[in-house]
């Protein structure tokens, strides 16, 4: 199959739901794993919450029992509070132990992603390396995968050898579009490399990203090698253009020409996509190099 990107049931006990990132299709994916209990992986944004709820209802997955947040960026946590409310407040929210304080007090993020306010979620259950979330017949094993953020976790379903990795290795939205996860305010280059090495040791057959969809067959293993190559090229680009970091239009044009020349995403979304990513990656580079 290669790239599994259509909403609905995608594997045994596993569903993909479009997160409508900035109301655009096939840019952000949420996932549902169903055992005796139902877990939604990531929460999307507050703007997408109603569409996520509609999709869950259409798939007969509403309400879920758990929401498991892979990491503490706005597009993965902002939808949590409205989703919990829509489900009568009976949903248990999980996140990595270092992400928990951010989700409970989003003012600690300290960076404006342009998505509006984030409502806090209280009493988040912390997860750490080696923990697992038992869905009854299916267990999701927790793996710490920092770099993109300190509190980033991946979830490994041993039953069908599928791993959900959020944004930890980057954004492979389709075969023509792959960008690294250099996002503010916490990106850490050394931790990112360690995460790539750790993921290589896991016996997965399919790998599911936050942006966007799942990759299987040869693409599932190849993506980790590609992630390192893509990262190093973009990192070096920013290194070589330190004097132009404030010229966002130059960065957008250069990134589009050098790294997204045949991108189907740019073709369908327009310049707003590389502009957003150029801005975020530029700021991620600045924070990582203490240029802010």
Rounded Cα–Cα distance for residues 193 and 190 (Å): 5
Which is nearest to 205 in space by CA: 163, 144, 175?
163
pLDDT at 1: 62
**How many Cα atoms within 13 Å fall on the side-chain side of residue 272?**
8
- Asked whether 198 and 146 are in contact (CB, 8 A), the reply is no
Tokens of 208: 């599911």
Q: What are the per-10-residue average pLDDT scores of the chain (292 residues)? A: 91 96 94 98 96 98 98 97 95 98 96 93 97 97 98 96 97 96 98 97 96 91 96 98 97 97 96 94 97 89
pLDDT at 221: 87
- Asked whether 63 and 32 are in contact (CB, 8 A), the reply is no
- Asked whether 112 and 163 are in contact (CB, 8 A), the reply is no
Residues 6+ apart with CB under 8 A from 222: none
pLDDT at 283: 97
In the numeric block, the tokens 């980033």 are attached to: 152
Rounded Cα–Cα distance for residues 215 and 152 (Å): 20
How long, in residues, is the chain?
292
Tokens of 139: 């267990």
First-last CA distance in the chain? 43
Q: Domains of the chain, with CATH numbers?
A: 3-229 (3.60.15.10)
pLDDT at 16: 98
In the numeric block, the tokens 């989703």 are attached to: 83
pLDDT at 259: 97
Rounded Cα–Cα distance for residues 86 and 70 (Å): 21
């Amino acid at each position: 199959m290669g790239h599994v990107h259509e909403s609905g049931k995608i594997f045994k006990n596993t569903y993909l739901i479009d997160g409508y990132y900035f109301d655009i299709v096939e840019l952000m994916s949420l996932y549902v794993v169903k055992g005796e209990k139902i877990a939604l992986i990531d929460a999307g944004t507050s703007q997408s919450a109603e569409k996520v709820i509609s999709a869950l209802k259409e798939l007969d997955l509403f309400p879920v029992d758990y929401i498991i947040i892979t990491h503490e960026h706005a597009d993965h946590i902002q939808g949590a509070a409205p989703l919990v409310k829509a489900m009568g407040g009976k949903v248990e929210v999980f996140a990595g132990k270092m992400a928990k304080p951010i989700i409970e007090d989003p003012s600690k993020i300290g960076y404006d992603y342009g998505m509006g306010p984030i409502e806090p979620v209280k009493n988040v259950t912390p997860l750490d390396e080696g923990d697992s979330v038992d869905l009854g017949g299916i267990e999701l094993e927790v793996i710490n995968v920092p770099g993109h953020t300190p509190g980033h976790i991946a979830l490994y379903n041993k039953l069908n050898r599928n791993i959900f990795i959020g944004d930890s290795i980057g954004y492979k939205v389709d075969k023509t579009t792959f960008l690294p996860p250099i996002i503010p305010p916490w990106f850490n280059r050394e931790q990112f490399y360690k995460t790539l090495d750790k993921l290589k040791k896991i016996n997965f057959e399919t790998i599911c990203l936050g942006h966007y969809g799942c990759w299987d067959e040869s693409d599932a293993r190849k993506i980790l090698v590609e992630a390192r190559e893509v990262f190093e090229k973009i990192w070096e680009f920013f290194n070589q253009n330190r004097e132009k970091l404030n010229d966002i239009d130059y960065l957008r044009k250069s990134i589009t020409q050098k790294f997204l020349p045949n991108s189907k995403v740019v073709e369908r979304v327009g310049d707003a996509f590389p502009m957003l990513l150029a801005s975020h990656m530029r700021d991620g580079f600045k924070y990582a190099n203490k240029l802010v």
